[in-house]
Structure 1
Amino acid sequence: MATASPPRGEPDAYDLLVVGGGINGTGIARDAAGRGLSVLLAERGDLAGFTSSSSTKLIHGGLRYLEYYEFRLVREALAERERLLRLAPHVIWPLRFVLPHDEGLRPAWLLRLGLFLYDHLARLRTLPGSESVNLRRSPVGRPLQDRLTKGFLYSDCWVEDSRLVVLNAMDATRHGAEVLTRTGVVSARREGDLWVAHLRDERTGGERTVRARAVVNAAGPWVSKTLGGTLGVNSRAAVRLIKGSHIVVPKLFEGDQAYILQQPDKRIIFAIPYEHDFTLIGTTDVPYEGEPGPVTISPEETDYLCSCINRSFATKIGPADVVWSYSGVRPLYDDAAANASAVTRDYVLDVEDAGGRLPVLSVFGGKITTYRRLAEHALEKLAPYFPHLKPAWTGEGILPGGDMKDADFDTFLADLRRRRPFLPEELARRLARAYGTRVDDLLGSATSLADLGEAFDGGLTAAEVDYLRRNEWAVTAEDILWRRSKLGLRTGQESAARLEAYLARRAEAA
């Protein structure tokens, strides 16, 4: 089943062309490059520009999936939770969740059973297990209404989702992959022994033709459109689009804990500490039939999320309290023969080839927690076409910036503050979280804030902007303020305009 090799030494010839720069595309590109394949990834916008930056930002096993008997998926996700916490301790960290028992919804014994299974499906567990809590006596119960008297605590993890995508792209290039952003795949067809693809630079209109032995279609919500249109492949695989929206409001409660709230419609809603001064609330789950992106929250979704909070919290909120919202469209595999609950919870990898050669692998669904295993499974499916593929490796592959001794972020941060005493406490923490051990590449020889150049809102400096342009494919102010960071929450219009002007000057000088 092996396909012919692209001509050695010739430009624009690759083993693998990856379409899409979200978490699945970058994860597969990284895995493949580390196994010895030549890889080109093309993303028509920015990395994590759509679905992968619109998650609830959790690395979790999926407690609610147990209701649908998805034990394999939960076990895999819990194993990945532990692994990713070790491989990227700067952008992933533990979070304790409060699950109030709400009379008339799921009974307490069912919640206790689910948490028991959740604790024990994880073969190796470093996070604290679940426990009961008296909400009237515990500080975690203070933000809640008096009617909620008992509940449970359990552990999962937070992730900076769009930064995780960028770290995978960076590691892919470290292993030899080529990553092109603002580059669309206009068309690709099987010609002779290779795929021939036509690419277009979305900024300049410049065109480029490349060849590849195989194609990975990780186009997210555009996966079906890419398969049938861009790649010209007839397939029975179809996608079901679901829109999920989140709102951000001023901080609703003190403490580092998050809340998972049951709803009468059987759904659950998270309320999570966010960027120190805010609370993140989500997500909705709405069938979607329009163009996948960009999408925005509807008034009905905003009202729904506010009402979910108002059912449980003592502090009431309304649409006027929302300081920011974001929405994303999740592509789910639509199999008419499958149970709808299963369809919404697992990923499907669909391979089409031409007589055992020139495969295209399409990715449907998936969650950020299991992206690394999804990539491994993708390479397993592609292995018959690449007989010299090296073994799996990402299970021990620390992501850029994560090489801290014992994965101990607090010790690393303390050392950074000792070595760079001019950094204010909050700025040092933000930089350590964003860049981990690569923070010294950003700071260079600076011994004062003035050495970091022009200052923008939120502690952003020219030195950080230049680092992001140089290393992380940042082009616009939006890339920096809303995906490489969340400084957009603290950036005024004047500062954002100065940032855009600075980027334009740097681009002209390049």
Structure 2
Amino acid sequence: MDKLIYDLLVIGGGINGAGIARDAAGRGMSVLLCEQDDLAAHTSSASTKLIHGGLRYLEHHQFGLVRKALQEREVLLRSAPHIISPLRFVMPHAPDQRPVWMIRLGLFLYDHLARRKVLQSAEAIDLTTHACGTALRPGFQRGFVFSDGRVQDARLVVLNALDAAEHGATILTRTPLVAAAREHSSWRMTLRTPDGQNQIVFARGVVNAAGPWVNRLLGDVLDVTPRHSVRLVKGSHIIVRKLFDHPYAYLFQNPDNRIIFAIPYEDDYTLIGTTDVDFRGNPGQVQIDDGETDYLCRMVNRYFARQIGPADVLATMSGVRPLVKDQTSSAQAVPRDYTLELDEKGPPLVSVFGGKITTYRKLAEQVVDMISPRLGRYRPTWTGNAPLPGGDIPKADFPAFHSRLARQYPWLPASLLKRYAHAYGTRIHTLLGQARSLADLGECIVPGLYELEARYLVEVEWAQTAEDILWRRSKLKLHAGPGAEATLTRWLATYRRPVAAPAHAVSAP
């Protein structure tokens, strides 16, 4: 009996795994991606939602990482202007903090370490007259403004997976890898399907992009002893009712030399984070603790006129960052760059240690560059100038695109049009199809979610649960009110996407 052999099996459906699958499939490889849970179910949906160079990394002399991230920031802003957009940050200054000359030098480097075409340069501001000063406590007179980007992080993962699938990759969610062995020129991999059955697949090469689980997979499943390991660091965020009425975000310096972001979020909220806490345990069951909540409230209360406490927290996010282990004592100083490890004791295996969401595309490119010659594949890189699904907006001008949509779909409520435009970009036309009125969107399952979109998310974007839809594919969970998850769960029980058999592999005797 013939067996199906993929060129590449990618383990992990976070941002790195999805990016690698996309890059490899676009270079003509037959690719299978397996993920134990939903796409972006863990670290990649618990980020600070920023595409940034990492201003604070300059203080730890990580100039190479900052430069690489700043270069990628420009690439990503062009490739997905619907889910990635410019954001101006205000950094209030107080005399007991880093001196002004140091901040000016840092911002100068930040502006000039890489070419910048999209974003504005940094500048000093007077907080007694600037709009951003009104939300602050009295006494802050001087500040600085600089630019970075914000991102819908979970959608970034989904769009990479979608592009991979459209280039021929097979994406299997809720399908963990449970056993693996090298057999001659390929890997024999045992996957546990969602219905509990074992499925055997073969791949000529494997990429371990399992994030916090990278070392566990190497030791327990792949039977490989790594040269590197990761230090697990928990980062948590809190979400509160919005603390200011302007489009700027804040970067706050704190007495422990850490920084905290306060970011406008989903129109009605402020996202505050993040913490850096060493973590031991199951990365799939990470949660914020009371100490982290108190810390975040206490730090922003040093700056904002409106004081908050744990009772004001409406939602939280926690994720485990797999940082490359070194001798650094403090979690905040651990390098955020990544390391790739190639094992060629038989069919090749590349393992990914570390990384950050901003540099995922470059990481994916380097992984595929590393493994493709060993698979006899030599196609050139391609993702640097390729838009993600929905990102082919003329001149990457989202405001103009949004205005055109308002004229084309005058029957859509403004808030719904805005969300669709940001979530789907030019794919909004695929989503809406022949719809010509609100009634054509079908049942309103929960506030803001119509049947047409829910079906699309199940059929096209691998969503299976209410949490997938209300949190990772959208942020409607913040807006829909109590009972929304149960209502959507009942609807999903009546509708299930047919499970397609894996395809696009090469048949070999």
TM-score (norm 1): 0.95
User: Structure 2 counterpart of 1:176, which letter?
Assistant: G
Matches within 5 A, 1:226-305: 226-305=217-296
User: Structure 2 counterpart of 1:478, which letter?
Assistant: E
211, 217, 224: which one aligns with 2:202: 211
SS at match of 2:187: strand
Aligned to 2:504: none
User: Structure 1 counterpart of 2:488, which letter?
Assistant: L
164, 171, 187: which one aligns with 2:163: 171
**In 2, Cα distance between the equivalents of 1:36 and 1:342?**
39
Q: CA deviation at 1:336?
A: 4.6
335, 348, 360: which one aligns with 2:339: 348
Aligned to 1:391: 380
Q: CA deviation at 1:341?
A: 7.1
**In 2, Cα distance between the equivalents of 1:307 and 1:398?**
41
1:324 to 1:113, Cα distance in 2 relative to 1, 3 A: same
State yes or no: 1:432 paired with 2:421: yes
**In 1, Cα distance between the equivalents of 2:304 and 2:3?**
60
User: Structure 1 counterpart of 2:27, which letter?
Assistant: R
Aligned to 1:448: 437
Structure 1 residues 431-453: Cα deviation after superposition (integer angstroms, max 9, x where no partner):
00000111111112112111111
Q: CA deviation at 1:333?
A: 1.5
**In 2, Cα distance between the equivalents of 1:424 and 1:330?**
38
Q: CA deviation at 1:412?
A: 1.2
1:418 to 1:11, Cα distance in 2 relative to 1, 3 A: farther
SS at match of 2:155: helix
Q: CA deviation at 1:343?
A: 4.1
Q: CA deviation at 1:148?
A: 1.2
Structure 1 residues 419-464: Cα deviation after superposition (integer angstroms, max 9, x where no partner):
1111111110000000011111111211211111110333110000
Aligned to 1:200: 192
CA contact (8 A) 1:102 1:262 kept: no
CA contact (8 A) 2:258 2:332 kept: no
State yes or no: 1:404 paired with 2:393: yes
State yes or no: 1:497 paired with 2:492: no
Q: What stretches of structure 1 move > 6 A for 4+ residues in a row?
A: 337-342
CA contact (8 A) 1:351 1:362 kept: yes
User: Structure 1 counterpart of 2:265, which letter?
Assistant: Y
CA contact (8 A) 2:435 2:441 kept: yes
SS at match of 1:312: coil
Q: CA deviation at 1:385?
A: 0.6
**In 1, Cα distance between the equivalents of 2:368 and 2:327?**
27
State yes or no: 1:415 paired with 2:404: yes
Unaligned runs of 5+ in 2: 500-509
**In 2, Cα distance between the equivalents of 1:214 and 1:338?**
36
Matches within 5 A, 1:461-476: 461-476=450-465
Unaligned runs of 5+ in 1: 1-6
Which segment drifts farther, 187-196 or 156-165?
Answer: 187-196
1:336 to 1:138, Cα distance in 2 relative to 1, 3 A: closer
**In 1, Cα distance between the equivalents of 2:7 and 2:392?**
30
CA contact (8 A) 1:36 1:389 kept: no
SS at match of 2:244: coil
Aligned to 1:308: 299
Q: CA deviation at 1:71?
A: 1.4
Matches within 5 A, 1:18-417: 18-201=10-193, 203-336=194-327, 343-354=334-345, 357-417=346-406
User: Structure 1 counterpart of 2:293, which letter?
Assistant: T
CA contact (8 A) 2:278 2:331 kept: no
Which segment drifts farther, 137-146 or 322-331?
Answer: 137-146
1:337 to 1:134, Cα distance in 2 relative to 1, 3 A: closer
Which segment drifts farther, 416-425 or 163-172?
Answer: 416-425
Structure 1 residues 184-241: Cα deviation after superposition (integer angstroms, max 9, x where no partner):
111111111111000011x311221011111100111111001111111122322210
Q: CA RMSD in A?
A: 1.7
Aligned to 2:503: none
CA contact (8 A) 2:51 2:358 kept: yes
Aligned to 1:507: 496
User: Structure 2 counterpart of 1:177, which letter?
Assistant: A
Q: CA deviation at 1:384?
A: 3.4
User: Structure 2 counterpart of 1:394, which letter?
Assistant: T
Q: CA deviation at 1:411?
A: 1.3
**In 2, Cα distance between the equivalents of 1:109 and 1:217?**
44
SS at match of 1:456: strand
**In 2, Cα distance between the equivalents of 1:341 and 1:410?**
37
Q: CA deviation at 1:509?
A: 8.3
Q: CA deviation at 1:508?
A: 8.2
Q: CA deviation at 1:344?
A: 2.6
CA contact (8 A) 2:7 2:29 kept: yes
Q: CA deviation at 1:294?
A: 2.4
TM-score (norm 2): 0.95
**In 1, Cα distance between the equivalents of 2:497 and 2:158?**
24
SS at match of 1:242: strand
**In 1, Cα distance between the equivalents of 2:23 and 2:238?**
34
CA contact (8 A) 1:100 1:148 kept: yes
1:342 to 1:391, Cα distance in 2 relative to 1, 3 A: farther
SS at match of 2:305: coil
User: Structure 2 counterpart of 1:309, which letter?
Assistant: V
CA contact (8 A) 1:88 1:399 kept: yes
Q: CA deviation at 1:340?
A: 7.8
CA contact (8 A) 2:232 2:320 kept: yes
SS at match of 1:325: strand
CA contact (8 A) 1:37 1:389 kept: no
Q: CA deviation at 1:155?
A: 0.4
Q: Kindly, what percent of the aligned residue pairs are identical?
A: 57
Which segment drifts farther, 254-263 or 232-241?
Answer: 232-241
